[in-house]
Amino acid sequence: MPQLAFANSFWESYDALEKPVRNGVRKAMQKFQQLTVPELQQDKGLHLESVEKAADRRMRTIRINDFWRGVVLAPDDGSDVFLLVNVVRHDDAYTWAAKRLYTTNSATRALEVRNVRAIEQLTPQLEKAAATAP
């Protein structure tokens, strides 16, 4: 059975979510405990879907309710553990998810996240400044 794990960063914003949204998170967690991975992928209520043009190919979203989506990392290591990293308003979820890349720090084993789009925008400016620096 698949499992839904929660990133530490997720809990920082969880308490600020409205009660119906928090209830939706709990319902999504229950589905992960009850369904197989193929059933999760077919479930019309959860609506697990890939994020187009995502910097991280593991990025998926799930329906929390009609207005909110959960952003999850799908497993790519043969396991069945999905990681919930954020819950965002529906329209913002895809943009938020597409910009981020998650990796594991090889020294600390901590999960690291980078906003790839912001880095891409800043890099040319920083390279130019570095080239003219004394």
* CATH number, domain with residue 27: 3.30.2310.20
State residue 122's pLDDT score: 78
pLDDT digits (tens, 9 = 90+) for 17-29: 999 999 999 999 9
Query: Which residue range(s) make up the domain with 74?
Result: 3-132
pTM of the model: 0.83
3-state secondary structure the chain: CCEEEECHHHHHHHCCCCHHHHHHHHHHHHHHHHCCHHHHHHCCCCCCEECCCCCCCCEEEEECCCCEEEEEECCCCCCCEEEEEEEEEHHHHHHHHHHEEEEECCCCCCEEEEEHHHHHHHHHHHHHHHHHCC
Q: Please report the pLDDT score of residue 4 as a whole number.
A: 93
Total domains present in the chain: 1
